Each structure stands twice: as structure tokens, then as C-alpha cells.
Amino acid sequence: MAEPPHDRTADGPDRSPTARLEMTGINVAFGGVTALEDVSLTVEPGQVHGLIGPNGAGKTTMFNVACGLVRPDSGRITWRGEELRRLRPAQLSKLGIARTLQGVGLFPGMTVLENVMVGAHRHAKAGFFSALFAIPTADKDEERLRRRALDALAELDAVEYAGRYPGSLPYPVQKRVALARALVADPELLLLDEPASGLSEDEMHELGELIRVLCSRMSVLLVEHHMDLVMRVCDRITVLDSGRQIAVGTPEEIRADPAVTEAYLGDDVDVDADAAELGGRSAAQVPASTQEGPRG
């Protein structure tokens, strides 16, 4: 479980994470309704950064800003020391950013292995036309992608499902496959959108350990309802409430922060979280997590 997923010598020297994601002064409004107001967030290299808050606080919106699905009305996003202007989802994988989706978003008509191979897409060496026409040269490439995908599945204990179709697998397995598909791209930043939803206690515990292993080679931004998981795995946590940032700090600081307790922990947290899982997303988050941002 703890082994790196693939032979890194093939793709460059071993790296420890160095890239920092900085989002500063992010403002987002959906048709006059303020979703985020002057929110800033920094994911330090190799750290797990949690993003929490009550339903409708703007977590998913912030997340979608980070991956280009929602364009902020104002604010700066800096990644690897460069400002990302007009970030689009299609650029993510090239930038070394991978995200998982609420739900799983696996391709239904493709096997588990093929699904993961799509995630490794950017690591293919053969160009578009040689892949299309020069089948022999592209063959080696195919083999490499296949190996990579199998390694990623192995890291998540899902190799045995490689030939199955996603629809025939239990939900937790589908989530592991989706995570493998994100990891196979070997990202420097992993955006995890509610990875623990639908998982049992044990599975959630395993997920927590996996995330701690992952942050030795990538930074992680984690949106999650399950407080115990967040408190256990995060290095730093940002708390949102009604689109505003009300606290940022280590799990201990967050736990001790009276503003947080009032806004969030004072609520009946579990009822809240469970309701959110049962009902899907809260109303305020829907526009952000649908296929395309309001401005496409």
C-alpha cells in the first residue's frame, strides 16, 4: 500500500513536492448571490490542506475555482510561482494537478483499467498522429500506460478489478478506482472532493493513511465533511462560513477556535454531514459543481 506506484526513474528523478498553490482574495458571485468573499488559501508543498465549513459555506465553489471550473470575479491563483490566468479544466493535467469528483465520474462503458489509463494520458510519449497511424511505435507507449495504470490500481488494492466495468463494482471500490485514475497522472497537487463519502469507518481510516502517504510526493487539498478524517490527516485547515473565511490554522488551533465552534462545530455536525451525503450537494453548491461554470 505504501509503495510508490511506479518506477519513477523512467519519468525523472525522485521529487519531493516543491510547488505551492496560493489563492488570494477570491471573490465569486452567482447571479448576485455571493458565494465567496475575499477568501485566501495556501496549500504548502507536501502538506494536506483541509477545507471545511457548514453546508453552503462555499467549499465546493472554492474547489472549483482551484480547478478552473468556476472563474472567480476577482482574485489571484498562483501555482508553481506563476499566476494562472483564465485557468481552464483542460489545462489541469498539464499543470500537474489532478482532481477527484464528488461521486466517482468513472466512464461507464470502459473497463477499470481503461478508465485509469485515460488518467495517465498526459504521460504518453507518442504524439497524436503517431499514436493514430504508426501503431507499432505507439505500441510501447500503450504498454507503458497499461503498466502505469496497473501500478496505480495496485497501490489502491484494486488490481483484481482491472477488467471489470465500473457499474458492476461496489461504490467504495469505484471510489478507489477514481482515486487511482487521479494518482496515475503523478500529480503535484491532488484535489480531493469528499473522498470519504459513502465509505465505512474502516475504509475511511485506510483512506486517511493513504493520504498521509501521498503527501510525501504531492500536496493535497481536501474538501470533506467527516471531521475526524479532516482533523487526523490535515496539516492545516481553512474554515469557511457563508462564503467567508473565518479561521485558518492547524487542527489543534481550529478545534480551539471559538469562531469555528460557533459556526460549525457547535452545530449538530454529524446530522449535517449525513444529510449532505444523503441529499447530494447543498443548494448553494449546485451551480459550482455542475458540468460547467456559469461563464463556461
Partner 1 sequence: MEQFLFLSLSGVIDGLVYAAFALALVLIWRSTRIVNFAQGSMAAATTFIAVALIDNGLSYWLALVVALLSGLVLGAVIERVVVRPVEGGPELNAVIVTLGLFIAIQGAVALIFGVDQRAFVPPVSNRFFQVGDGFTLGLSNNGLYTLAAVLITMVLLIVLFRYTRVGLAMRASAFGQEVARLLGVRVGRMLTLGWALAAVVGSLAGILIAGDVAFISPNFMDTLIVFGFVAAVLGGLDSPIGAVVGGLLLGLALNYVRGYLDDSLLGMAALVILVVVLLVRPGGLFSTTPARRA
The torsion angles phi and psi of 113, rounded to 5 degrees, stand at: -60, -45
Nearest to partner 1 of 101, 231 (CB atom): 101
How many residues at the interface with partner 1, by CB under 8 A?
Answer: 39
Q: How far is the CB of 61 from partner 1 (least distance, A)?
A: 17
Query: What is the sign of the dihedral through the CA atoms of 263, 269, 275 and 280?
Result: positive
> Residue 47 in contact with residue 219, Cβ under 8 Å?
yes
Q: Which residue from 23, 43, 67, 222 is in contact with partner 1, where contact means CB under 8 A?
A: 67
Asked if 246 touches partner 1 (CB under 8 A), the answer is no
Asked if 292 touches partner 1 (CB under 8 A), the answer is yes
Angstrom distance (rounded) from CA 238 to CA 197:
20
Q: How far is the CB of 146 from partner 1 (least distance, A)?
A: 10
Nearest to partner 1 of 112, 237 (CB atom): 112
How far is C-alpha 22 from the chain's CA centre? 16
Beta-strand pair 48-52/219-223: parallel
**Under rule CB under 8 A, which residues in 87-146 are in contact with partner 1?**
89-90, 92-94, 98-99, 101, 105, 107-110, 114-115, 117-119, 121-122, 124, 126, 128, 131-132, 135, 138, 141-142, 145
Q: How far is the CB of 220 from partner 1 (least distance, A)?
A: 17
Strand locations in the chain, DSSP E? 21-30, 33-43, 48-52, 74-79, 82-83, 97-99, 189-193, 219-223, 236-241, 244-249
Nearest to partner 1 of 7, 143 (CB atom): 143
Q: Which helix (H) or strand (E) holds 258?
A: helix 258-260
Nearest to partner 1 of 156, 254 (CB atom): 156
